[in-house]
Amino acid sequence: MKIISVKNEEIKKTCGERSNYIFGASDTGKKLLRSLMAAGVRVNAIWDNDILKQGKSIEGVPVISFEKMKEEKDFNLFLGSAYAMQEADRIDTLNNVTVYQVGRSRDELEALFTEVRVKFPAFVEGCRKNEIYYADDMSRRVSDAIIAYAVNYDGMATQKVVSTEEHYLIREVLEHLPDDAVFVDCGAFTGEFPIALIKNNISFQKCYCFEMEEGNCRTARQNIEKIMGAGVNRVEVVNSGIAEQNGILYFESNSANSKLTNYETDQKVKVVAIDSYFRDIKIDFVKMDIEGAELGALKGGINTIKRDRPVLAISVYHSLEDRVDIPKYLFNQLENYKFYLRQHSIWFAETVLYAVPANR
């Protein structure tokens, strides 16, 4: 799949007289839709694989399935999802499609990283030191691409190393999952992870889903029930954040990007530590995507992790420090683990550190 990068100011001219579609109906896809509409581009439809979104509309634009997308021909497809590369093979089967990413120029990236540029030397040094711990060459290539994107302002660097495997469920993980595993989903949003387990026919005994936003919890329960039916009791949605210690903390409410803060806001949320919640429960897998709170959450669960030796899938993309400090912490804490770094986004996001136990 060839991806053409186009600047915002060039979108209208680029589209010509062809029909226009978006891949992805998530928050990113919605932002892209509004950007295209503001540029005077008519969007015919949004392709999304989530059956719970198909048949609905966003800003009056219908959300359609891939089967419906296949009926179209001679059109532009704008990428509004981080996971476009996982669909590369299917996109290549579409009839005379041109794929675009609304990308940032070198000048835009330079401006984006201006405030953190002083951190670049320590960032590069930390990434290089971490590379010796990775179990394969792909992990080191991902590390190099991350440096190239941020430090060299190469906006296409991450596209060269994007994984085409399922987010959180790469081959190295699947090979080490026991039957009827107990999963811990930190940052559940609207239930995507347990739904992915079902769609990939992964057996599990229980999946504990922690989510700070009460509204997201309700949506997650509804979505999971639609998919699982009678088996919904195997998923427990917990309206709570994950932190280093039990307590009540302030947080910023922002749907998919809600995050704990170290300053006062108008909202508070209950938080729990993994070591406390799972004191008497054995766990087999921990996934974390909690907007920069991952390191504290890991510290609050390290005793349980050492006890049960679960597979870990930890997001490390929320800051330059996270990309260095989270791997370093786990390298120092865990024995007989193999570590893999994977890039699941065509952008500077969705970088996941996988820690897979050599034995339990």
* pLDDT on residue 258: 79
* pLDDT on residue 11: 84
* pLDDT on residue 255: 65
- In degrees rounded to 5, what are phi and psi of residue 3? -110, 125
* pLDDT on residue 16: 74
* pLDDT on residue 168: 95
- How many Å apart are CA 77 and CA 59, to the nearest integer? 18
- How many Å apart are CA 93 and CA 80, to the nearest integer? 19
* pLDDT on residue 230: 64
Per-residue pLDDT of 287-311, as tens digits, reads: 999 999 999 999 999 999 999 999 9
Query: What's the DSSP call for residue 164?
Result: -
- pTM assigned to the model: 0.85
- In degrees rounded to 5, what are phi and psi of residue 17? -105, 10
- How many Å apart are CA 31 and CA 43, to the nearest integer? 13
pLDDT, averaged per 10 consecutive residues of the chain (360 residues), comes to: 80 85 90 89 93 91 95 93 82 93 79 93 97 97 96 88 90 93 96 92 95 92 85 90 93 78 87 97 97 96 98 97 98 97 89 90
* pLDDT on residue 164: 83
H helices of the chain, where? 11-15, 27-38, 66-69, 88-92, 106-112, 120-130, 137-151, 171-174, 192-199, 214-228, 274-277, 294-299, 302-308, 320-333
Query: What's the DSSP call for residue 162?
Result: B
Neighbours of 149 (CB within 10 A): 20
* pLDDT on residue 104: 67
